[in-house]
A and B are shown apart, each in its own frame.
Chain A
Amino acid sequence: MTLTSAPPTPPRPKRRVGDRIFAGSASGSGILILLVLAGVAIFLIGEAWPAITAAAADLPGGQTLTAYIGPLVFGTLIAAVIALLVATPLAVAIALYITYYAPRRLATAMGYVIDLLAAIPSVVYGFWGIAALAPALVPLYGWLAENLGFIPLFAGPASATGRTMLTIGLVLAVMILPIISAISREVFSQAPALHREAALALGATRWEMIRMAVLPYGKSGVIGGAMLGLGRALGETMAVAIVLSGSGGITFNLISSSNPSTIAANIALQFPESTGLAVNTLIASGLALFAITMAVNMLARWIVNRRADFSGAN
Chain B
Amino acid sequence: MSTQTSPAPAPVTERPGPVQSHRRLPRFAATGLYLAGLVLGALLSALTGFNLALTVVYGAVLGTLAVWLTSRAVEGRRKGTDRLVTCIVTTAFVIAMVPLASLVYTVLDNGLRRFDAAFFNSSMLGVVGEGGGAYHAIFGTLIITLLTTVISVPIGLLAAIYLVEYGTGRLKRAITFLVDVMTGIPSIVAGLFAFALFALFFGPGVRLGVMGAIALSVLMIPVIVRSSEEVLKLVPNELREASYALGVPKWRTIVKVVIPTAIAGLGTGVTLAVARVIGETAPLLVTVGIINGTNLNPFEGRMATLPVFAFYQLTQPGYPPELAIERAWTAALVLIMLVMALNVVARLISRFFAPKTGR
Contacts and interface: CB of A to CB of B under 8 A. Distances in A.
A235 B189 contact: yes
A94 B96 contact: yes
A236 B188 CA distance: 8
A97 B336 CA distance: 27
B340 A33 contact: no
Contact-residue bracket for chain A: 35 or more
B88 A93 contact: yes
Interface in B323-345: 328-329, 332, 335-336, 339-340, 343
Main secondary structure of the interface of B (DSSP, over half): helix
Interface in B192-247: 192-193, 195-197, 199-200, 204-205, 218, 221-222, 225
Interface string A254-297: 00000000001001100110011001001100100110011011
Contact of A29 (B159, B182, B186, B187): B159
Interface residues of B, number: 94
B311 A40 contact: no
Given A39-B197, A121-B339, A127 B332 contact: yes
Nearest to A97: B93
Question: Which of B154, B158, B272 has its CB near the most chain A CB atoms (within 10 A)?
Answer: B158
A77 to B, nearest CB: 14
Given A40-B190, A208-B78, A119 B343 contact: yes
B294 interface: no
Contacts of B187: 235, 237
A124 B205 contact: no
Contact of B251 (A22, A102, A264): A22
Given A43-B196, A272-B286, A123 B311 contact: yes
Contacts of A114: 96
Nearest to B335: A121
Nearest to A235: B186
Contact of A128 (B102, B276, B281): B102
A57 interface: no
Contact of B188 (A128, A130, A181, A286): A286
Given A122-B281, A132-B103, A43 B200 contact: yes
19 contacts: A26-B159, A32-B155, A40-B189, A44-B189, A46-B200, A47-B196, A93-B96, A97-B93, A127-B107, A127-B314, A132-B102, A132-B103, A235-B187, A237-B281, A268-B188, A268-B285, A290-B185, A293-B186, A305-B177
Given A26-B165, A120-B279, A133-B99, 20 more contacts: A21-B251, A22-B254, A27-B162, A32-B159, A33-B221, A46-B196, A47-B195, A98-B93, A119-B339, A121-B279, A121-B281, A128-B107, A136-B53, A174-B99, A228-B184, A235-B184, A235-B187, A268-B282, A272-B286, A286-B192
